[in-house]
Amino acid sequence: MAADITKELSPLPDRTPEPAFSADELVWTAAEQEQMEVYKKRYPTNDGAIMRGLWLAQDKYGWLPPEVIRLVAETLEVPYAQVYGVATFYTQYFKERKGKYVLDVCTCFSCQVCGGYDMLHHLEEKLEIHVGETTEDGLFTLQEAECLGACGSAPMLQITNGSYLHNLTTKKLDTLIDGLREGKRVPFVSVTLPQDADDLDGNRRSDVKATDTYHAPPVAKTVK
């Protein structure tokens, strides 16, 4: 029997989500506009500046909803689809709203065998969320990260694509969370080289106060 084409179709689902930012918010300041021009000049075509443009947008808006991605595309005069493709390829671009502090706990390779999962599970209990979730107050998002390139100071975590925190212990995590709740920022920490211990009093930089040395890693209780 032929399909009844006269029957009214059910309405299409509304696939366009409510924009997170209004048109008034989606403008660059003069300084940002200038920065974009600097990025553009660094590459033979504007495509090269997409990644930097997305970084600038993420720093400004906190995450990258479609309308922000479109703003970057229009600024750089490249197709929206290409910028969208780039934004969705790389893990550090946030495609959904995250907490104010994104805690990327490394559990990969060296961090796994040195207790990365202990740290992750401790944070899960302390923040009362599962990995991948955001706390109700919107302050913390907990994530499991792939190798962050600080294997000698495992276990470690990164805070919102910025500061590294090395040689984690549960005590250190408690201090971190309590500090962040009070709005204390985490400074850049320089990890000194073990070979410098005798030569340079363990620190080869006079412009960085916060330093850490490599420690013998803790014993991992859980590995998954």
Partner 1 sequence: MEATNPTSKAGDWRNYKRVLLPPVKDLHQLEVYEDNGGYKALRDVLSGDKWDPQSVTAEVKKSNLRGRGGACFPTGLKWTFMPPVDPDVPRFLCCNGDESEPGTFKDRQLMEYNPHLLFEGILIANYAMTIKTCYLYVRGEYAQWIEQMEAELEKLYKKGYVGENIMGTGFSTDIVIHKGAGAYICGEETSLMESLEGKRAYPRIKPPFPAQKGIWGYPTTINNVETLACVPLIINNGADWYSGIGAEKHPGPVLYGISGHVNKPGVYEYPSGMLITDLIYEVAGGMRGGKKLKAVVPGGSSVPIMKADMIDGVTMDVDTIREAGSMMGTAGMLVMDEDTDMVSFLRRITHFYHHESCGQCTPCREGTGWLENLVTRIDRGEGNLRDLDLLIDLCDQMEGRTVCALADAAAWPVRWTVTRFREEFEAKCKPAVFPTGDGATEAAVPAT
CB 1 to partner 1: min, Å: 40
**Cα(17)–Cα(112) distance, integer angstroms:** 38
Span from 6-14, 19-27, 176-184, 190-198 in contact with partner 1 (CB under 8 A):
190-198
Identified binder of partner 1 from the candidate list 35, 135, 163, 211, rule CB under 8 A: 163
Rule CB under 8 A: is residue 191 a binding residue for partner 1? Answer: yes
DSSP H or E segment with residue 106? strand 101-106
Nearest CA-CA partner of 151 in 106, 121, 117, 100: 106
Span from 17-25, 112-120, 122-130, 131-139 in contact with partner 1 (CB under 8 A):
112-120
**Cα(217)–Cα(10) distance, integer angstroms:** 60
Under a CB-based contact definition with an 8 Å cutoff, are residues 116 and 222 in contact? no
Preceding peptide of 155 cis, ω within 30°: yes
CB 54 to partner 1: min, Å: 7
| DSSP for 109-162, written as a single string | THHHHTTHHHHHHHHHHHHT--TT-B-TTS-EEEEEE---S-GGG-S-EEETTS
Rule CB under 8 A: is residue 19 a binding residue for partner 1? Answer: no
CB 112 to partner 1: min, Å: 5
CB 126 to partner 1: min, Å: 23
Rule CB under 8 A: is residue 206 a binding residue for partner 1? Answer: yes
Nearer to partner 1, 148 or 180 (CB): 148
**Cα(90)–Cα(59) distance, integer angstroms:** 15
Under a CB-based contact definition with an 8 Å cutoff, are residues 72 and 81 in contact? no
Residues between 118 and 137 that touch partner 1 (CB under 8 A): none
* Number of amino acids touching partner 1 (CB under 8 A): 63
Burial class, 69, CB count within 10 angstroms (exposed 0-12 / middle 13-18 / buried 19+): buried
Span from 8-16, 20-28, 130-138, 142-150 in contact with partner 1 (CB under 8 A):
142-150
Identified binder of partner 1 from the candidate list 90, 125, 171, 182, rule CB under 8 A: 90
Rule CB under 8 A: is residue 52 a binding residue for partner 1? Answer: yes
CB 30 to partner 1: min, Å: 21
**Cα(108)–Cα(155) distance, integer angstroms:** 9
- The residues of the shown chain that bind partner 1, judged by CB under 8 A, are 42-52, 54-55, 78, 82, 85-86, 89-93, 107-110, 112-114, 146-154, 158, 161-164, 188, 190-191, 193-196, 199-200, 204-207, 214-217, 219, 223-224
